[in-house]
Every structure is written in C-alpha cells, then in structure tokens.
Amino acid sequence: MSENAILIAETRDRVGKGVSRALRREGRTPAVIYGDKKEPVSVSLETKELVKVLNTGAFMSTIYTVQVGKTNYNVLPRDLQLHPVKDSPVHVDFLRVSAKSLIAVNVPVHFLNEDKCVGLVRGGVLNVVRHEVEMLVPAGDIPEFLEIDLSEFDIGSSVHISDFSLPKGTEPTITDRDFTVATIAAPSGGTDEEEDGEADAEASEGESSEES
C-alpha cells in the first residue's frame, strides 16, 4: 500500500453520549475503527486536524493511517456524521483495510473534450446522470477518477459504463446492466435538422390538403 496520510488519535476508555459530548467540548471528535474480524477500537481525533483533512476533499475515498500510540491502523472512512447546524464533525467510522482488500467507493467522473464533442458543438446539452460511479476497487489502489472522451458522441448518444476504460482490477458494483452515466440531449428548441424536417413535413401536409 502506498504511503497514506496520517491521522493522530487517542484511545477512548469509555464510550457513550456523555463521554462523546465531553470530548467535543475539548475540541476532539469521537471515532471508531472496526472490521477485519477484529474488535472495534474507540478513539478520538483532534477536531481541527480532522476538519483540515475534510477540507482537502475526497475524504470518504481516501486511505489513511490512524496512529494510536505505537499502533498504526490503515483505514477507510465509512461514515461521517456532521452537526446539523454547525456542520462540524460529530463522529467518524473507520474500516480497517489492507492493500489486498476490495472495497466499494464512489469514484468521480471526468468528462474530457466537451469543446470538441460533436453533439455539444451542434448545440446539444450534456446531461450527467451520474457524477460518481460506485466501484469495487483494491484498497491500496483507489482511482482518483474515471474519465471519458466525449469527442465522438453526437446528439442522442448515451455514455454507458462500458464506454470507459476502467482501471485494472476495478469493476462497477452494478454488474447486471450497462448503465448510463450521461447523455447528449437535443437542445430545447431542437436541432437544425429536426426543424428542417418539421418544416418539410408541414409543407407536405399543406400540399396534400390543397390537392384534396
């Protein structure tokens, strides 16, 4: 596993709402480390340091090393609870992982060459169905994003997961269908070809009416 960002933690000998509230008043956030068929470990993190990590982005899809004294735990955040008003962290659940662990994470989607996309140049609109795709990936090699080149997609085209070159060793958690990630929709006024076709159709209907 590549070198991970480090979070310094302290053990919690006691648990419960009262203890958690006291920790928060002291500027610490309660957390728990679980999984890998081992007993959960209750810890706390300095809230200011945790907020710094949260502000870097991709918190829920990043492997961290939590240091508790002389013991290190490689973990992946699985749940983050925020205060409903202050939006500050209230509690974090961490899952123990190893480099060989397969985990489900949401991976952002990047769309390339929108300025060269055939359908968008013709006035189409990019309709993003999924900004993220849930993927099953090795814990030691989580992709930062998935990317797709839109150059050849025209109006009416759909971008499916099968159109992506997925990183080695990864697969979407949805495997029973080739799901849509985005579409190139026609503009609200229709394309020039559609308008011309409608005009021709109207002209033909008018000629038929005059003949009858």
pLDDT in tens, 29-60: 999 999 888 899 999 999 999 999 999 888 88
Q: Using only C-alpha atoms, what is the Rg of the chain?
A: 26
Task: Give the angle subtended at the CA of 116 by the CAs of 114 and 117, to the nearest 5°.
Answer: 65
Tokens encoding 160: 């499916």
Instruction: Report pLDDT for 204.
Output: 46
Q: What are residue 137's DSSP bridge partners?
A: 103
Select the more confidently predicted residue: 13 or 209: 13
Q: pLDDT tens, 67-88? A: 999 999 999 999 999 989 988 9
What is the residue-averaged pLDDT of the chain? Answer: 86
pTM for the model stands at: 0.67
| Number of other residues whose CB lies within 10 A of the CB of residue 207 | 9
**Each residue's pLDDT tens digit, 89-104:** 999 999 998 877 888 8
With a pLDDT cut of 70, the percent of the chain lying above it is 88
Q: Is the model's pLDDT at 122 over the cut of 70?
A: yes
Cβ neighbors of 29 (< 8 A, separation 6 or more) are 23, 44, 45, 46, 47, 50, 89, 90, 91, 92
- pLDDT of 189 > 70? The answer is no
Strand partners, 28: 46
Question: Could you tell me which residues come within 8 angstroms of residue 161 by beta carbon, excluding any fewer than 6 positions away?
Answer: 133, 172, 174, 178, 179, 181
